Amino acid sequence: MLAVALAVGTPGAATNVLSGVLPPGVHWGYSLGVVYLIWLLVLAMLAPLSFWFAGVKRRRRDWWLSYL
């Protein structure tokens, strides 16, 4: 929650997050559309990495790759 407080831009609320008390007027979270957009951006960033790693596992047969 501390990272969320800093990402939202309320550093004053970040100090109260550890105690579990939110100051009045601080609203947490994002709308559902923003959450879906962030989710899609993360997937778009991870897809090339996943395809690259699948190629590495296909090309190499090292024993330790089976654990990843």
- pLDDT for 4-16, tens place per residue? 666 766 656 555 5
For the full predicted model, state whether its pTM sits above 0.75: no
* Domains of the chain, residue spans: 1-29, 31-68
CA angle 33, 38, 24 (to 5 degrees): 70
Please work out, in degrees rounded to the nearest 5, the angle formed at the alpha carbon of residue 33 by the alpha carbons of 27 and 36. 110
C-alpha–C-alpha distance, residues 60 and 54, integer Å: 10
pLDDT (tens digit, 9 = 90+) per residue, 17-52?
Answer: 566 666 666 666 788 999 999 999 999 999 999 999
